[in-house]
Amino acid sequence: MLPPTTIPILESVASCRTWRLKAFDEKKSVGFVPTMGAFHEGHLSLVRRSLSENDLTVVSIFVNPGQFAPGEDFEKYPRMLSRDLEQLAGGQVSVGGVFRTTSAVFLPSVQEMHPSGITRDVASQKGTFVEVEGCSHQMEGAIRPTLYRAIATIVTKLFNVVQPTNVYLGQKDIQQALMIRQLCRDLLLADPDAKRVHIVRTVRDPIDGVALSSRNAYLSVDERSCAGTLYRALQAAETAWTRGGTKEKSISAAAAVVEQGKIEAASKGVEMKLEYVEMNDADSFEVLDGKLHKGSRSLGGTNPILLTGMLWVGKTRLVDNIVIGDSGTIVS
Ligand code: AMP
């Protein structure tokens, strides 16, 4: 049973298509915010942006089993539909004196989104999958090798149904967002056109800079008090880089912050482990050369750089990033 809400809920692909056809007929622009639910201010910032730039906004909530490898947190991923719907219903944006709220929530079933079925073990999967070669196996994709194939596949399906004019994605998941832009370009999608895939800046805790994430709910109070280490480490690397240091120096600066953070964490009984801090060219995703300041072949000194990191705090994996250089060319 669905919780009561004032927002129309589209539970099937057919109902979403009918809704979209009406918007096409009425020549209304449609902004789309794909999510897995458990909303925080990061999600809501995307929704507000969509509300302000489109006649209509549709938000999808779908915890896609395909993107959780066996052993990952699919079962315990937070699901809080009634709270999510309340937050959407309460989130209004005034445009020219007219209040806009979310026009519809798309809540598809696993069966409809994966008509050939879905197993979380890639080796036994059947059906059609989308893979964006060249940008799925670096950074987080190196640690979670099947993640971006699953995301590319589900997002292609969602785009086929919603056919959005504009899409809003978070910088928090920069690899995902850039991959989706490339997917739209490579597959010649019109709805959305790659130029209409907007990447919105990461919303952070104002006190310690921790990037908001649904998975932060897994952290105990003590773990949460240590989570700021990742962003501080990335900031240290950014500072070293902008002062003219090499990638090696920048990453060492980040590692030093993590080492200090580990000592403080240990005093609270919290274990932390740095999975990686890396620097990649934002265009080619090429790993920068550690010995150079300029970095990768395609960098030419001007492309933005993705400074990304993954830190385990207890059993929770946190990811974060800073875009160095002219970030305005990819994030806005
Ligand atoms: P999720 O529900 O985690 O799949 O996220 C849905 C969308 O919200 C994705 O485009 C995320 O990148 C974005 N998002 C998640 N956290 C943040 C954040 N702290 N700031 C901005 N966007 C975010």
Q: What is the pLDDT of residues 128-153, one digit of tens each?
A: 999 999 999 999 999 999 999 999 99
- The mean predicted confidence, pLDDT, of the chain is 95
% helix, strand, coil for the chain, step of 5: 40, 20, 40
Cα 199 to its chain centre, rounded Å, is: 9
DSSP string computed for 207-259 = TT-PBP-GGGGGS-HHHHHHTTHHHHHHHHHHHHHHTT--HHHHHHHHHHHHH
Spatial separation of the C-alpha atoms in residues 140 and 175, rounded to whole Å: 8
Residue 298: predicted pLDDT: 46
43 has catalytic annotation? yes
Q: 157-185: per-residue pLDDT in tens?
A: 999 999 999 999 999 999 999 999 999 99
- Residues in Cβ contact with 119 at an 8 Å cutoff, skipping those fewer than 6 apart: 125
Instruction: Write out pLDDT tens, residues 49-59.
Output: 999 999 999 99
Q: Which atom of ligand 1 is nearest to the CA of 211?
A: 19
Most ligand 1 atoms within 8 A of CB, residue of 39, 169, 173 to mutate: 173
High-pLDDT (> 70) share of the chain, %: 97
Catalytic residue among 40, 43, 137, 293: 43
Amino acid at 152: A
> What's the pLDDT at 290?
85
Nearest residue CA, atom 17 of ligand 1? 42
Mean pLDDT of 111-123: 95
Name the closest-CA residue to atom 11, ligand 1.
170
Q: What is the rounded average pLDDT of the residues 6-14? A: 97
- Please tell me the distance between residue 265's alpha carbon and the centre of ligand 1 in angstroms: 27
* pLDDT tens column, 303-319: 899 999 999 999 999 99
pLDDT score at 295: 54
Q: What is the mean pLDDT of residues 289-299?
A: 64
Average pLDDT of 283-300?
73
Which protein residues are within 6 Å of ligand 1, measured from CB?
Answer: 35-36, 42-43, 45-46, 169-170, 172-173, 200, 202-203, 211-214
**The one-letter amino acid at 287:** V
Q: What's the distance, CA 91 to chain centroid?
A: 21
Q: How far is the CA of 256 from the centre of ligand 1 (A)?
A: 28
